[in-house]
Amino acid sequence: MSFTIAEIASALGLRAEGDTGLRISAVAEPAQAQASDLALAMKPEFAAQLTAGQAQAAMLWDGADWQSYGLSAALLAPRPRYAMSGLSAMMDAGAGYMPGIHETALIDPTAHLAGGVSVGPFAVIGADVQIGAGSVIGAQVFVGRNSRIGQGALLHPGVRIGHDVTIGDRFIAHFGATVGADGFSFVTPEPSAAEKVRETLGDQAGATAQSYARIHSLGGVTIGDDVELGANACIDRGTVRATQVGNGCKFDNLAQVGHNVVIGTDCLICAQVGIAGSSRLGNNVVLGGQTGVSDNLFIGDNVITGGATKVLSNVPAGRVMLGYPAMKMDTQLDLYKQIRRLPRLIADVATLKKAVSKTDPSD
């Protein structure tokens, strides 16, 4: 698979200069690029490495003096990283999954697979499942009873989709992702120690040992179009109503979405984020890695959390949050600065105490 510089420019809407007939077969970092590679020199500091490689062409920022780097051709992008999205799609040869239905796949007779669906070895597709046209179901994937998956889905090997799950078009799930496991819902005959602590913020007097009874998850999961799940990400089913994920949401590896959670459109959920049950996220929310969201909270549109933030109360729209407990980022950073000054403040107080204690009482 290869493309000319002119073909790439046309497909991505970029400006091409120099020898636009030059053919490109791969992309590479500037220092490692071979003659047939397109070097990704999207910043001046990256472009400085071009002389260490053999690239004849590069993707550069708009206005770059590409000839000064000894190149024969260049693609100039107003926002190179965004252009890389389309470029990477052109250059991606895919996972190489075989078309058709493998002889070892187990498909219930009542399941309906639209045209062009591929099913890999040892996949299991349950009763009354519907899978849209052009979808790829990888090896050892499980799709439970009465679930719906839209067109153009890509389920990599080992993905598990539970029963009564509805998923839109162009869904991507990476290795080991799970949609539709039961929520973590347990209850004790009398108020538990955890409940008492939550009400009293520490006092669990009178709490007794009890066993937990399981609350079954009767709701499903509803996922919109263009959603992507990272490896081992999990979205739990609802207790009564469905857990919901809006269009365009992207989840990194090991993200956990609890039962009854509602997530708006175009949210970015980074690695190891945990969202506890019945919380609601608005649109265009970004949760940095290891962010934790407590249960029954609301996070407004366009909120961003820094890494390892722990959200323990509602967050209004547009806030940038950081820390444990989560505060506005500028406030949290100011507190960090004050904490760093504490050792010097303590030393100054100790010095003052010594000075006061040495003062002559008769003075």
- Active-site positions? 259
| Beta-strand pair 310-311/292-293 | parallel
Cβ burial of 203 (10 Å; 0-12, 13-18, 19+) is exposed
Is residue 303 within 8 Å of residue 282, measured between CB atoms? Answer: yes
Q: How far apart are CA 314 and CA 298, in angstroms?
A: 5
- Select from 33, 92, 38, 34 the least CA-distant residue to 60: 38
Please give the Cα distance from 274 to 287 (Å, whole number). Answer: 10
DSSP state of 31: G
- The residue among 307, 308, 311 whose CA lies nearest residue 298 is 311
Residues 58 and 47: beta-carbon distance below 8 Å = yes
Structure tokens at 131: 């899978």
Residue 285 to residue 273: CA distance in whole angstroms: 13
Number of H helices, E strands in the chain: 5, 39
Among 42, 35, 84, CA closest to 66 = 42
List the alpha helices (DSSP H) in the chain: 5-12, 44-47, 80-91, 193-200, 329-357
Residue whose pair of structure tokens reads 């190891």 in the numeric block? 272
